[in-house]
């Protein structure tokens, strides 16, 4: 069957059937639509520093593009002293967990702020939420190379308060280690008659479970010595498609970073690719181990050329102020930037020096403004280290004071 002749016009020409057969109400449409794309190398479209993306696509606008940076920052509030804490529920089936620290003579606000101080200063952690009305804290933290997610509840009591730690996910032994450190930290700073437990648990059980946990070294405790090359080759071949698999690799990476061993095996492009991939995840559990090991590699002369030769230093600067990674990651990255600039400034070309200085200056402009003076002090410390790197590039590093200390125990 053919449509010849059915749609012929007055001149006998047959343009063919209409685009939509059977649509009797369709209006004629002879408009041609299209889009014109400028000609440039699309392989560079992911490189925000490529000169082909210059003009009105300036560097500051490009860096500001990720949704995790900028206006919707998570504010970590502190507990106000005049606030009254929540009471322990009167439900007969409710009981406090064994991992509860009772503090005599301490208000819930004071205890909550001490917990925040511990998380910010004593362990690598990222505080994800503080509810100053319900007196709860959510945090991701590391201990002995393994991560866990914790929620802290603070309850008002007649003669003080109770601080309850609950593990929500992650490594159980890491949770016990963090709880043991937190309990010691709180007891040292608040005069107490000792550890008290809910009636369901004895002090002997508490000591066995929470305070005498053996050190958890993971599967890669022997990642050193002559086997480093072989072990690294195995790690590089491991799949990294899911967060769970990334966290397994990140655990090994953190062990390598924390152990004082020779890192020469990691001074290769494929190793840096793995670390940048973990950093790109923008999850604290993966980003902190990567940032920590990259900061250690930045101190090694044979590793420093990789940061400049492949543009890794500028890639790292994009990961400042990402709220999901937090202060602990930013501090490691600041150390990385200063170490690389200090070690390689004399070997940079004029163009490399200018590009690096522009990237650092743009990062400083994006510094988040915090209402909390404690957090503002920490971000000020990070920016001070970055400004030191700028002065090194300007040749005036001798006029800059050392950054004030910010205590973080790894």
Question: Each residue of 7-66: pLDDT tens digit?
Answer: 555 555 555 555 555 555 666 666 666 655 555 444 444 444 444 444 443 433 334 433
Domain boundaries for CATH 1.25.10.10 within the chain: 225-399
Question: Each residue of 286-323: pLDDT tens digit?
Answer: 999 999 999 999 998 888 888 887 778 888 999 999 98
Question: Each residue of 54-101: pLDDT tens digit?
Answer: 444 343 333 443 333 333 345 567 888 877 888 888 888 888 999 999
Please name the helix (run of DSSP H) or strand (run of DSSP E) that holds residue 142, with its range, or none: strand 136-143
List phi, psi (to 5°) of 102: -95, 130
Q: Considering the domain 225-399 in this protein, what is its CATH number? A: 1.25.10.10
Q: Considering the domain 86-211 in this protein, what is its CATH number? A: 3.30.310.80
Domain boundaries for CATH 3.30.310.80 within the chain: 86-211
Query: b/e for 137-165, b at 16 or more Cβ within 10 A?
Result: bebbbbbbbbbbbbebbbbbbeebbbbbb
Is 375's pLDDT higher than 50? yes
Contacts of 278 (CB under 8 A, 6+ apart): 246, 249, 250, 253, 286, 287, 289, 290
């Amino acid at each position: 069957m053919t449509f010849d002749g059915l749609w012929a016009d007055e001149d006998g020409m047959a343009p063919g059937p209409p685009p939509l057969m059977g649509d009797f109400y369709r209006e004629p449409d002879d408009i041609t639509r299209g889009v014109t794309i400028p000609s440039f190398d699309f392989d560079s479209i992911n490189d925000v520093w490529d000169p082909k993306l210059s003009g009105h696509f300036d560097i500051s606008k490009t860096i500001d593009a990720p949704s995790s940076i900028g206006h919707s920052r998570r504010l970590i509030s502190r507990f106000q002293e005049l606030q009254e804490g929540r009471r322990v529920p009167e439900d007969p089936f409710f009981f406090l967990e064994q991992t509860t620290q009772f503090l005599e003579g301490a208000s819930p606000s004071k205890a909550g702020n001490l917990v925040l101080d511990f998380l910010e200063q004593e362990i690598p952690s990222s505080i994800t939420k503080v509810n100053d009305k319900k007196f709860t804290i959510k945090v991701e933290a590391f201990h002995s190379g393994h991560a866990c997610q914790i929620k802290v509840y603070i309850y008002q009591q007649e003669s003080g308060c109770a601080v309850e730690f609950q593990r929500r996910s992650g490594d159980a032994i890491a949770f016990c280690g963090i709880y043991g450190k937190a309990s010691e930290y709180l007891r040292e700073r608040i005069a107490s008659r000792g550890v008290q437990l809910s009636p369901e648990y004895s002090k002997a059980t508490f000591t066995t479970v929470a305070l005498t946990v053996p050190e958890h070294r993971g599967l890669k405790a022997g990642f050193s010595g002559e086997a480093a090359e072989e072990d690294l080759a195995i790690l590089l071949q491991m799949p990294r498609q899911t967060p769970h698999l990334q966290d397994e690799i990140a655990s090994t990476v953190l062990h390598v970073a924390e152990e004082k061993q020779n890192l020469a095996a990691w001074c290769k492009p494929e190793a840096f690719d793995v670390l940048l991939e973990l950093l790109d995840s923008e999850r604290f559990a993966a980003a902190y181990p990567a940032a920590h090991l990259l900061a250690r590699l930045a101190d090694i002369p044979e590793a420093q050329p990789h940061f400049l030769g492949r543009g890794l230093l500028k890639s790292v600067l994009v990961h400042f102020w990402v709220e999901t990674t937090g202060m602990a990651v930013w501090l490691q990255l600041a150390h990385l930037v200063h170490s690389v600039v200090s070690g390689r400034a004399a070997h940079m070309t004029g163009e490399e020096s200018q590009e690096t200085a522009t990237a650092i200056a743009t990062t400083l402009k994006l510094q988040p403004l915090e209402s909390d003076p404690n957090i503002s002090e920490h971000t000020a410390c990070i920016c001070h280290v970055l400004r030191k790197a700028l002065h090194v590039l300007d040749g005036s590093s001798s006029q800059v004071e050392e950054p004030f200390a910010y205590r973080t125990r790894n």
